[in-house]
A and B are shown apart, each in its own frame.
Chain A
Amino acid sequence: MLWLLFFLMTAIHAELCQPGAANAFKVRLSIRTALGNKAYAWDTSEEYLFKAMVAFSMRKVPNREATEISHVLLCNVTQRVSFWFVVTDPSKNHTLPAVEVQTAIRMNKNRINGAFFLNDQTLEFLKIPSTLAPPMDPSVPIWIIIFGVIFCIVIVAITLLILSGIWQRRRKNKEPSEVDDAEDKCENMNTIENGIPCDPLDMKGGHINDAFMTEDERLTPL
């Protein structure tokens, strides 16, 4: 009697979890691709962990808080490492609807990935598309900030150059009149000082005696 029950159970299990069965999902892991040398072997303990993670995810769905690890069935484990799984209800006669399983897995994909040190590309649930992380969108795009900085620097530089050009031109226009003033001053000074001719005088108002050599010419240029 017990043997019959046992056979019945495995038969039901076999029926519930089959490649392509209703509400069954194929999972594919690429451990060697993800971890290289540090890859772990896929054994029954890892399968147990997987069942635990799926049960954990189902528990987060309302009305399914009673899901146990034994409700998750795995089958057709290949060398690839790929397998199919279904989640049964507590009576173990029916499988839970695919939509619920999908939602549960999608919500907790990050936790499942983390448990196996994998990511969305190396731990694939076929037919459950993962929600891709949205790109970080700062409120002000970064390029505008840099653009603004360089724009302001260029405008300031242009303004400075134009202003200095205008200033230089104004000084050049004033110089002919300055020359006349200095000449007047010279004539006055001529009467005050004793006959120093005005032309060699520095226009800026210094009293340089051209008879002496200036600093620059003391050293013979190379």
Chain B
Amino acid sequence: MEKTRPLWSNPLQFVFACISYAVGLGNVWRFPYLCQMYGGGSFLVPYIIMLIVEGMPLLYLELAVGQRMRQGSIGAWRTISPYLSGIASVVVSFFLSMYYNVINAWAFWYLFHSFQDPLPWSVCPLNGNHTGYDEECEKASSTQYFWYRKTLNISPSLQENGGVQWEPALCLLLAWLVVYLCILRGTESTGKVVYFTASLPYCVLIIYLIRGLTLHGATNGLMYMFTPKMEQLANPKAWVNAATQIFFSLGLGFGSLIAFASYNEPSNNCQKHAIIVSLINSFTSIFASIVTFSIYGFKATFNYENCLKKVSLLLTNTFDLEDGFLTASNLEQVKGYLASAYPSKYSEVFPHIKNCSLESELDTAVQGTGLAFIVYTEAIKNMEVSQLWSVLYFFMLLMLGIGSMLGNTAAILTPLTDSKIISSHLPKEAISGLVCLVNCAIGMVFTMEAGNYWFDIFNDYAATLSLLLIVLVETIAVCYVYGLRRFESDLKAMTGRAVSWYWKVMWAGVSPLLIVSLFVFYLSDYILTGTLKYQAWDASQGQLVTKDYPAYALAVIGLLVASSTMCIPLVALGTFVLHHLKRGDAAPMA
């Protein structure tokens, strides 16, 4: 009896799997940053245009390829053309899964630490003789200290490796065990898990929205961030970043979408699903940025009011004014009076008076792990019942991260389980176990003291250029090598619906052009920047400093980019050579 391909139990599982994979941490920590940097409300214009022009067509293409070829990325590409192999996707997915699960490990760490009163990142630890707070913590803030010292125990530079920290290592191990548990049985187990990983983050986001909007000062953040700055529409960087965000947010090119779609019934309406998934993904980004901006507003207002209080206290103490006399409203007035009445004393204390500004607090734009683990925790520690909010928040981060990890591992496992050689020797539990084990072992690098610097290298370079190239080759291969007409008739035969002219125009013309322009832009950006730099944490100053990458780090970056991009031409060359050798063998026999 032929082993049938496992299928999703119902189309809803497939949609949830795609949503769970596409809606990830990038929606929460990258989109609000871009929105803030490139004109607030007006950033939505390039974003939605790119969604319609680039996101939906490419997503539909990948899902259609997967559903038609009914194999993982390697098999699917080989069916399109024998010279192509999806191994580049697998390599990129492998790099991604190596470092991405470290984020889940950090989320676990923070989640476990949320069950304490007070929250460990809300107070600085005491110094040696208990007369004051730890020096590093005083210079930075307690949330930064907890992140850089307690969680990462970061070293001052990339060169100083340090040893593997056992606490993050344990959390990483747990993260991989959880991922293994979810992918153990293939679509059978993954299909059930994605119900949770797709829907629970929305529950938490809604709860946070309600809480965020009712926080004091939330409206400050919302108004400031969403006020459209129309002049940014003329900035080409805004458009490039919108395109990039759509591209990476949907997770195209990794092979995960092909893998998910390959478990579909052939008659599945993947056009509808592509539109639904991309719309939900973008909607989630906007929704998450509303929550983020209200939290920003709260944090900025809180810090601004604290700053005012500190200035008031300083003036009250210096001039022995009555306690409670200085308020936010009369501060400027009184400052003017004091400057005129006691000029010498005022000039003494003047350098210490900080200029408190709400705008400068709101202007601090943060993205990535800094936003998730420093800014958000700073806001959470000031809320009431902060333990509850902290647990909810990190649980949501976990769900988002694990959802994306399921897609990543599916991209690696599907080609492996499809290949007859491997799946005949090992059951799929063992293959999944091996993949998780190898990734976990390599991931221990990111738990060393310099681990966060390596994490940043992988985050910035492992997937960016290679993905653009992979999706470009995919689009061109489907349209021109396989043939757009042939693909269209395949889809029509499979789903029973014709492919509209819009998709054909996008696939054949617009999207490849867009990807080429993005690719050119990135390359020129890298070349123009010269040496690559990174942000290192300086414990003595309590802030980040910029440093140059050492030579071997640059070599690793080059290797990362090259190993995935070179796969495509190398495999083509290899197949060509083998083909010729076979023909050479066959000819004399004939």
Contact = CB atoms under 8 A, between A and B. Distances in A.
B177 A80 contact: no
Contacts of A162: 184, 429
A144 B174 CA distance: 12
A122 to B, nearest CB: 9
B126 interface: yes
Contacts of A30: 323
A82 interface: yes
Interface string B307-327: 000000000110011111000
Interface stretch (B17-25, B109-117, B139-147, B554-562): B109-117
Contacts of B125: 135
B174 A134 contact: no
Contact of B126 (A132, A155, A157, A158): A132
A146 B112 CA distance: 6
B323 A134 contact: no
Contacts of B185: 161, 165
Contacts of B483: none
Interface size class of A (residues with CB under 8 A): 20 to 34
A33 B26 CA distance: 43
A197 to B, nearest CB: 23
Nearest to B127: A132
A135 B116 CA distance: 12
A134 B130 contact: yes
B507 interface: no
Contacts of B171: 147
A131 interface: yes
Interface in B136-180: 170-171, 174, 177-178, 180
A157 B192 CA distance: 15
A108 B132 CA distance: 18
Interface string A145-171: 011001100110110011001000100
B467 to A, nearest CB: 32
A82 B318 CA distance: 11
A129 B174 CA distance: 44
A69 B126 CA distance: 35
Given A132-B130, A132-B131, A161-B184, A143 B113 contact: yes
B186 to A, nearest CB: 10
Given A134-B126, A151-B177, A32 B324 contact: yes
B427 A165 contact: yes
B429 A165 contact: yes
Interface string A1-45: 000000000000000000000000000111111000001000000
A79 interface: yes
Contacts of A155: 177
Contact of A154 (B177, B189, B322, B324): B177
A222 interface: no
A208 B514 CA distance: 65
A60 B336 CA distance: 48
Interface string B368-390: 00000000000000000000000
Contacts of B316: 80
A129 B132 contact: yes
Contacts of B37: none
A183 to B, nearest CB: 18
B488 to A, nearest CB: 36
Contacts of A32: 323-324
Interface centre among A81, A134, A162 (most CB of B within 10 A): A162
A151 B174 CA distance: 6
A39 B322 CA distance: 13
A142 interface: yes
Contacts of B126: 132, 134-135
A214 interface: no
A79 B320 contact: yes
A63 interface: no
B413 to A, nearest CB: 15
Contacts of A130: 131
A46 B85 CA distance: 86
A80 B323 contact: yes
Contact of B323 (A31, A129, A131, A132): A31
Contacts of A91: none
A166 to B, nearest CB: 8
A16 B112 CA distance: 57
Contacts of B123: 135
Contacts of B324: 32-33, 39
A81 B323 contact: yes
A220 interface: no
29 contacts: A28-B317, A29-B323, A32-B323, A32-B324, A39-B324, A79-B322, A80-B320, A81-B323, A130-B131, A131-B130, A132-B132, A143-B109, A143-B113, A143-B116, A144-B112, A146-B112, A147-B108, A147-B112, A151-B174, A151-B177, A154-B174, A154-B181, A158-B177, A158-B180, A158-B184, A161-B181, A162-B429, A165-B184, A165-B427
Given A158-B180, A161-B185, 4 more contacts: A33-B323, A132-B126, A134-B130, A147-B171
Interface of A: 28-33, 39, 78-82, 129-132, 134-135, 142-144, 146-147, 150-151, 154-155, 157-158, 161-162, 165, 169
